[in-house]
Structure 1
């Protein structure tokens, strides 16, 4: 039986800036979890043509667009982002914007150091006022409308930020049966906000079940002195754990 192809993750970032070390470590973590990872700046450095890079994007399942202060220093990086959003609009790729040590507002409004870098690139390339400038700006604005992650939410601690990225990508592609060892170490609040409703449902079901079990126990054992407070708490926690795990199984 043929082995199932590993999903591709394409990382789009400026390269040679503050995000470079983070990207290298993130790529390693993703590869360790069974993903094929392509980094746009590496493909550019290997003098791959833009058509080759576009084909790589087209074969990818997930694209991580990592914004940083120096993101717009690369004209190719901006071209890649346009193609990435085209694929997202076609429903053929999952797009995740990541704001690494830069605010979403600065990126969306092209202000601060991010905006200064963008203006410098336009001037350096002699394309200030060119249609490319408008296309790039509009494309970045569209990417900013997608649910994403900001390093500030993780106190700029790269390890926590990285773990959240890997966890999210794995959950998004969980039907591919990737290892789930990392899942138990990551709190639910690290997931994108769309998972909040499902988590609330888990907790509600678990709470109702725990109360029901306590009611049944009180009917069977009219003298609750047979259980110590510590034992009752242990049973309640055990019920909550089992119900929550069962819900995650059946509702995902």
Structure 2
């Protein structure tokens, strides 16, 4: 099919009409707290520990002047955080800004699956849930100052937040407090820092992620195995990495085993992969004598844990037998994703849920090529026609487009024409 010779303006219109992506995460954690209660004590210790562990944390300076509503900067920081830690203290509910932050945080939990960790600092969880005690006193004052709908919105947010898993700490000494801080840091590291780098230029990912999502059984305790297959360089790993990042927060643990084919060929390669799997899902190193011992250990250690496991680039059934291409090894609701070049592996493993990765469409292909050739999603006017022709003859495989585009950076027009002729000859040889 000939690639349409459209103007960059038409390409930009198509790009703007694609479905919106979730906000790119700029922070690992947004820290919500009542400054007068904990800024110079617990929250300060927690903030320093998070930063010290390499967790990029946003802490609002609530000593700055406030308006009637939380600022657009705060809203943006919440939206661009992977997780929020809400430190509930005795006077938290006295602050309408804290309550407004909480409402926004829970909106992000529902809309973009943001992780939310409540921390109950010297306050009873039931007081937060039912707005009693100091929280009841605060709401008695709010009901005199604010309209009913606003107050009910705040009440609902507190009730929802108090139902989430978190930590409860009474003022029982600095030693206990330091242990709690460390436990929070450990959990955040495990839950938040598991995201994978995908690509700088996520062209064409959105629609493919939605198609993959349709294979999942949301809310079901049944585990599932999904096979993702396609030609070399078609983008299987990139798509599955983005999919992993999109759904990982729904699981208790996650592991992305990359390059299974290559690693399994090494000495004791399958044992090494079993060790890697256990370490990623348990946070502990294990000595494994052989693959049979590893299989038994995986079943025992992980049988009650709901996990997401990706086995990337599988080419032999023995790899699945050793690493588990069956979700029954893990806890209820676990998901296993396999990527492979060969659909035969999926047949042999009886994988019913399958997703075939297709080539990019014409416009996606041109955008990806142009980014690597020009550093822009659209071609220079002087190179528009030849760019379209190169994309046409190079196929719509992402890896090929990236390599060819990068090879033409700052090259002369004669060199571009030479590349086009090579691609035409290659295309002709395939046709015959």
TM-score, normalised relative to structure 1? 0.63
The verdict on how the C-alpha distance between 1:153 and 1:74 changes in structure 2, with shifts beyond 3 A counting, is closer
1:8 aligns with 2:28: yes
Asked if 1 retains the 8 angstrom alpha-carbon contact of 2:38 and 2:44, the reply is no
The 3-state SS of whatever aligns with 1:61 is strand
Q: Give 1:20 shift.
A: 4.7
3-state secondary structure, aligned to 2:84: strand
Note if contact 2:26-2:81 (Cα within 8 Å) is conserved in structure 1: no
Query: In the alignment, is the contact (CA less than 8 A) between 2:28 and 2:193 conserved in 1?
Result: no
1:172 aligns with 2:191: yes
Q: State the partner residue of 1:88.
A: 109
Between the aligned partners of 1:169 and 1:54, the Cα distance in structure 2 is: 21
- TM-superposed CA distance for 1:120, in Å, is 2.9
Does residue 116 in structure 1 map to residue 134 in structure 2? no
Aligned residue for 1:130? Answer: 148
Flag the 1:153–1:103 CA change in 2: closer, same or farther, 3 A.
same
The verdict on how the C-alpha distance between 1:174 and 1:60 changes in structure 2, with shifts beyond 3 A counting, is closer
1:188 aligns to what? none
Output the aligned Cα RMSD. 3.6
Q: Does the 8 Å contact 1:74/1:121 carry over to 2?
A: no
Where does the alignment leave 5 or more consecutive residues of structure 1 unmatched? 178-193, 214-242
3-state SS of 1:66 partner: strand
Aligned residue runs from structure 1 range 44-193, under 5 A? 44-47=62-65, 50-123=71-144, 126-127=145-146, 129-152=147-170, 157-176=176-195
Q: Which has the higher contact order (CA 8 A, sep 6+)?
A: 1
On the 8 A contact 1:98/1:149 being kept in 2, the answer is: yes
Shift of 1:145: 1.9
Q: Shift of the alpha carbon at 1:56?
A: 0.5
TM-superposed deviation, 1:18: 4.5
**Cα separation, partners in 2 of 1:92 and 1:47, compared to 1, 3 Å:** farther
Q: Measured at CA, do residues 10 and 144 of structure 1 come closer, stay the same or move farther in structure 2, by a change above 3 Å?
A: same
Task: Report the structure, 1 or 2, having the larger helix content.
Answer: 1
- Distance verdict in 2 for CA 1:120–1:19, change over 3 Å: farther
2:194 partner SS: helix
Aligned-partner SS, 1:116? helix
Could you tell me the TM-score, scaled by structure 2's length? 0.38
Deviation at 1:136, TM superposition (A): 0.3
Shift of 1:174: 4.0
**Alignment partner of 1:24 out of 44, 69, 73:** 44
SS in 1 for 2:112: coil
Give the secondary structure class of the aligned counterpart of 1:175.
Answer: coil
Dislocated runs of 4+, deviation >4 Å: 152-156, 246-252
- Quote the offset at 1:160 in angstroms: 1.2
Does the Cα contact within 8 Å between 1:72 and 1:121 map onto a contact in 2?
Answer: no
Aligned residues: 187
